[in-house]
Amino acid sequence: MMRTPWGQMTVEDSHAHLFSRSFFEGLARQRKTEDVDSMVAELGWDPPPRSNAELASRWTEELDGHGVARSVLMASLPGDEAAASDVVRAFPDRFYGFFMLDPTSGDPIPRARRAFRDLGLQGLCLFPAMQRFSVRDEALWPLYEVAAEAGRVVFVHTGVLTVGVRARLGLPSRFDMSYSNPLDLHRVALEHPETTFIVPHLGAGFFRETLMLASLAPNVYVDTSSSNSWRRFLTPTPTLEEVFGRALDVVGCGRLLFGTDSSFFPRGWRRGIFETQCETLRRLGITTEEAAEIFGGNLARIMRPAGRAKAGP
């Protein structure tokens, strides 16, 4: 439980990244080096543990230290599903395992099915700007169906996409932001009403489009994660309070998901983001029940859909 302006509350984080050893090995390969520990040391970060079980313990201690009940941990390189699976298997009641999928290579549909069915993962993450594809492409539609059948969610990163670790390691990020418009999800979400979609960072710059999308598609959820520095693209730059106020008006507290966008150690869980968002929502005068939904209730609900066989603990 965590202390909040509304009293003690169960808090779950809908957005954190799993920077596993295999994740860093993947980046090291792109950088043509094998020395993962020196590469991570250059970043000033703690070297990743040898085993995912150890990393899972580290994250558990981190969540315990803050009183966070549970967190999404997203494998953040295509092909790193096994790491997320290891973490979830080690502490099934503390984490929701998500995985990044590149639908442009390999066999994405069986891969997604296996991740949900055999690896116990709960969310499929698409980054259309990264691999330069459109979520509207009908070749992807079976993916949305696989997620719905498994009772799992599809996370779609829209808006401005920067991957801090890539920039700091001097790795190129040849992304294409023209695939980043949340409106691309409009028809997709309407044609797949059984699939739950999550748009992170309040659209990361496409705030208006995200609100339009969520107002028309009841199966679209929106996460509040990170510092939401995309506000600087708007004039006049809205305050976080204005942004959250508008999101509450249009999306409603039943579809907003608190998230931090935590990732590496020693920084660990980003408590400052939590405190800022608590304070912002307190000023907006939301009720205890509404806060409980945003800070964990909504996530818990969509992770354990009613009537699905694989209910959580």
Binding site for Zn ion (CB under 5 A): 261
CA–CA–CA angle 178, 166, 152 (5° rounding): 65
3-state secondary structure of 36: helix
Q: Is the CB of 261 or the CB of 293 nearer to Zn ion?
A: 261
What secondary structure letter does DSSP report for 297? I
C-alpha distances out from residue 108 to 59, 114, 193, Å: 29, 10, 21
Q: How far is the CB of 131 from Zn ion (least distance, A)?
A: 16
Q: Do residues 99 and 48 make contact, with C-beta atoms less than 8 angstroms apart?
A: no
Residue whose CB is less far from Zn ion, 16 or 278: 16
Contact 123, 74 (CB under 8 A): yes
The closest of 251, 214, 247 to 231, measured between CA atoms, is: 247
Alpha carbon distance 43, 141 (integer Å): 38
